[in-house]
Structure 1
Amino acid sequence: MQNETLAKIFMQTVLKKPVRRKIYEKRNVLLKQNNSEGLVSIKAFVCSFIIGFISTYFIVCWIKGSELPY
């Protein structure tokens, strides 16, 4: 009787560890994906800001270059 209960407890602990490990792996993958998505959004914002700044600069230079005659 004790051997059976010990065997059941042992099997339960053996089976629980991989499940926990899988959960931790999934959590780590999700955290990495969230971090990478955050970096992508920051990079996209910085690139759009730089492109907008450069295009505004060229538009202002173009307007100053073609000064109005008055």
Structure 2
Amino acid sequence: MGLLGAYLERSLFQSACAINKLRNKEGTGHGRPWLPSLSLTEATAAIELVGTISGFLLARLDEDNSKTSVYSGK
């Protein structure tokens, strides 16, 4: 991975941390009595970012596994 790849990975990590903070502050879990104050646009962006980050991590895992797999011939 080059410098740009590392920068992308770091940016995705920072996005995931921000979404986690948002979820902890605005989430409705554990019987919180108040409603979230997020707009629909903010909530949609957070959901889409989680999907993008998850897709990236799964692709990276698949890429790493194919390098070390006994079936890859490497």
Larger Rg: 1
Considering Cα pairs closer than 8 Å and 6+ residues apart, tell me whether 1 or 2 has the greater RCO: 2
Which TM-score tier does this pair reach, normalised by the shorter chain? 0.3 to 0.5
> Going by fraction, where is helix more abundant, 1 or 2?
1
TM-score, length-scaled by structure 2: 0.43
TM-score, length-scaled by structure 1: 0.46
